[in-house]
Amino acid sequence: MDHHALLLLGLLKNQAQHGYQLNDFIEKNLARVTNLKKATAYALLERLRESGLVAVKLEQEGNRPPRKVYAITQSGETEFLNLLRTELSSAEPISSPESTALMFMSELEPDERMACLNIRLEKLNAHIANLENIPTHKSAVNFALERQVVLLKADRNWLMGVLER
Amino acid sequence: MDHHALLLLGLLKNQAQHGYQLNDFIEKNLARVTNLKKATAYALLERLRESGLVAVKLEQEGNRPPRKVYAITQSGETEFLNLLRTELSSAEPISSPESTALMFMSELEPDERMACLNIRLEKLNAHIANLENIPTHKSAVNFALERQVVLLKADRNWLMGVLER
DNA sequence: CACGGAATAGTCATACTTGACTATGTTTGC
DNA sequence: GCAAACATAGTCAAGTATGACTATTCCGTG
């Protein structure tokens, strides 16, 4: 949850926004580096409000449905910095679901195993190509994307090595 | 959840076990490649039982508390292979909490930023050293650990590059 | 100017996860 | 020969996450 809160607080620190705006931005620009989902974001915003880390103001534009505009509060800013320091100093093991599958690889017949891993390789390559085609991204996201590419490439190269054995 | 189920089914396919045994093995040997927690495992075992993927038998040894011994069923084996194929073919973006922090790095003063990242670097190095000191691990876990080391090293090397800029 | 599709703005039931807790049995150092 | 530490075997309340769903408004095109 912490990193989700960090993300929302960070975006709100930059600019007060309503839920739709936040989610739209996340879906369109950050989907590759975060897995925060829409419903989760709304729920989290509500929790942040309860904790006093963000403040809500109702707003209506023309006949559009009314919006809740969220703004970061003073204690929200403090919490943001605390979370940022903590997360930036941390290094958790990288545990993607695939690690589990790799443990049991040998339970499949060689043919099938190779087939699955080749599909995986294609997907990794597609992800990488996709990321590298983004026109020099908004600088904030930059580092996260760069790291993502580095990790994906390391994963791909390792996988290619395994396929050769 | 899928990969958690895959892990439990895979362990049970190898040998019928009770909850404590499973959790003990996971904590002691797999903590570096999975994040399945004890309470989660017990809850998941119950769900697997409800779905008929595992069968339970009560057992008692001496005066010890009675145990529920879980064994994989026929349909459990089928499901295991399906999950294995799916996960082995998949390639999700690697989204660790740190990615979010990296996006907001620039919100910290340079000094503090460097300090945090250096702590992170130390932790990455410690993780790597730790993994490399494991005496050639049980072969099943092998690939997952190997990949973990590869990813951690890629992460570390990238971080060192960033620190130099 | 009507109609379909996209944008806006969420909600909700359900499922999943986990820190903290309970409770008994076994071993070990002194 | 007993108290403390450790192993065994879980449970539970509370917190989190999300796919599926609702409902209104706007806009472009025929």
Rg of chain B in Å (alpha carbons): 20
Q: B34–A95: do the CB atoms touch at under 8 Å?
A: yes
| pLDDT for the residue numbered A136 | 63
List B158's β-bridge partners, or say none: none
Q: Tokens 């190269």 label which residue?
A: A157
Among the residue ranges A28-32, B45-49, B85-89, the one predicted with the least confidence is A28-32
User: In which residue are the tokens 């996340």 written?
Assistant: A26
- Which nucleotide has the shortest C1'-to-CA distance from A1? D16
User: Any bridge partners for residue A59, and if so which?
Assistant: A67
Cα of A57 to nearest chain B Cα, Å? 25
Query: What's the confidence (pLDDT) of residue B136?
Result: 63
Q: What is the mean pLDDT of each run of 10 residues along chain A (165 residues)?
A: 92 91 91 91 93 87 76 94 93 84 93 95 93 71 88 95 89
At B98-154, the pLDDT tens digits run: 889 999 999 999 999 999 999 999 999 999 998 888 766 566 668 898 999 999 999
Nearest-by-Cβ selection for B155 from A97, A102, A151: A151
Q: Return all residues near A9 (Cβ < 8 A) that are at least 6 apart.
A: A48, A53, A54, A72, A76, A77, A79, A80, A83
> Residues 63 to 82 of B: which have CB under 8 A from any A CB?
80-81
Instruction: List strand residue ranges (DSSP E) for B2-151, in order.
Output: 17-18, 54-59, 67-72
3-state secondary structure of A14: helix
Structure confidence by residue, pLDDT tens digits, B58-83:
877 666 777 889 999 999 999 999 99
- Protein-contacted bases of chain D (C-beta within 7 A): 8-13, 15-20, 23-26
Amino acid, single-letter form, for residue B78: T
Q: What Å value separates CA A43 and C1' D22? A: 17
Buried b (16+ CB within 10 A) or exposed e, B58-96: eeeeeeeeebbbbebbeebeebbbebbbebbbbbebbbb
- Whether A98 and chain B come into contact, CB under 8 Å, resolves to yes
pLDDT at position A63 is 65
β-strand pairing of A54-59 with A17-18: unpaired
Nearest CA-CA partner of B103 in A15, A3, A54, A19: A3
Which residues between 113 and 152 in chain A have a beta carbon less than 8 angstroms from any beta carbon of chain B?
Answer: 113, 116-117, 119-120, 123-124, 127, 140-141, 143-144, 146-148, 150-152
* A156, two tokens: 């791909």
Q: How far is B75 from chain A (nearest CA, A)?
A: 16
User: What values do phi and psi take at B57, rounded to 5?
Assistant: -135, 135
Q: Which nucleotides of C are covered by protein (CB under 7 A)?
A: 8-13, 15-20, 23-26
Query: What are A10's two structure tokens?
Result: 């960070």
Angle CA B35–B39–B45, to nearest 5:
95
Which residues contact residue A146 at a Cβ distance below 8 angstroms, ignoring those fewer than 6 apart?
Answer: B158
A105 contacts A113 by C-beta, under 8 angstroms: yes
Report the candidate in B17, B29, B104 with the shortest Cα–Cα distance to residue B67: B17
Residue closest to sugar C1' of D23 by CA:
A65
Distance from CA of A77 to the nearest CA of B (A): 11
